[in-house]
Amino acid sequence: MKKKFFIMLAFLAMVLTFTISKAHADYYTNSILLYEGKSGIEVTNLQRDLKNLGYFIGEPNGYFGSYTEQTVMKFQKDNYLAQDGVVGRKTAREIKVDRVAQTAKTYIGVPYLWGGTSPSGFDCSGFTQYVMKKNGISISRTTAIQYNEGIWVGKSSLQPGDLVFFSTYKPGPSHVGIYLGSNKFIHASSSMGVSITDFSNSYFASRYIGAKRILT
């Protein structure tokens, strides 16, 4: 009897793990192709992102039909991508980058809070982690560890969505933001809270130490 009980517990744990992993499946992190005829949680997440970006009208239904294909093609056209209606790695990344930027900007004005990890107050790495997590992307909590994640990117090769790092109050990476393009980044500043800053800002320009690409 006891053996059957433990076998049942193990089975339930396996089912629960599978259910949770499916519930958190994502078209970007799973590196899959989505196209007309596909269905599932990844399609739902795609439709939700496209809706938030103003392309998909209506409620996400998890089915990649002709309307979803049309919205994907419109997004691809607006972002100078091949207009094939297929969501592969390039299209998925561009959608995620736009959603990350959109999410980050909604928190402009949130005050700085040392150790803060929520919209009631952010520190720099709490902000970057929170914004990425809202878009299904997992990064570590602290600036120093985030600095060791992803792929190194030269300043001349920066793309929107890259994490940019600065040495501020101590040697090494002590401040982080999200690059938005056009020589600007968004971050939780200790003096301004969540705000957008230009790389030409003398304080940050002299303290820039590198960038990492999380969305590859």
Q: Which domain holds residue 62?
A: 24-96
pLDDT in tens, 164-199: 999 999 999 999 999 999 999 999 999 999 999 999
Indicate if 24 belongs to the active site. no
pLDDT, tens digit, 9 for 90 and up, residues 16-49: 333 333 334 578 877 789 999 999 999 999 999 9
Question: Does residue 197 share a domain with residue 131?
Answer: yes
Active site residue 175: yes
Which domain CATH number covers 78?
A: 1.10.101.10
> Catalytic residue at 187?
yes
State the catalytic residue, choosing from 38, 99, 187, 212: 187
Domains in the chain: how many in total? 2
Identify the active-site residue in 72, 104, 124, 163: 124
pLDDT-derived band at 114, boundaries 50, 70, 90: very high
The Cα–Cα gap between 153 and 211 comes to: 5
Q: Choosing from 99, 175, 212, 213, which is the catalytic residue?
A: 175
